[in-house]
Amino acid sequence: MSALNDTPVETLSFEAARDELVKVVAELEQGSPTLEHSLALWERGEALAARCEEWLLGAKRRLDAARSAASDEAEA
C-alpha cells in the first residue's frame, strides 16, 4: 500500500497534511520498490511539509494579531 494520495495538497487541513506526511516518511524509511516511486513520495512529502508550514505560519499570524489587539486594548 502506498502513502501517495491524489488529494490536492492545497485543499488539506493541517491535520490531514501532517498525518499523510507521517505516512510518506514511514514509507520512505521502509524503502520503495522503485526510484520513481521514491521520487514521487519525496515530492509529495515536500509539498505536504510546505502545506503544514503554511498552516503554522497562518496560525502564528493570527496569534500575533490577537496579542497585538489585546495589547492595544490594555493600553487604551
pLDDT tens column, 17-69 = 999 999 999 999 998 789 999 999 999 999 999 999 999 999 999 999 999 98
What are the CA-CA distances from residue 4 to residues 13, 46, 72, 74 (Å)? 17, 12, 46, 49
Residue 72 binned pLDDT confidence (cut-offs 50, 70, 90): confident
CA 7 – CA 10 distance, rounded (Å): 9
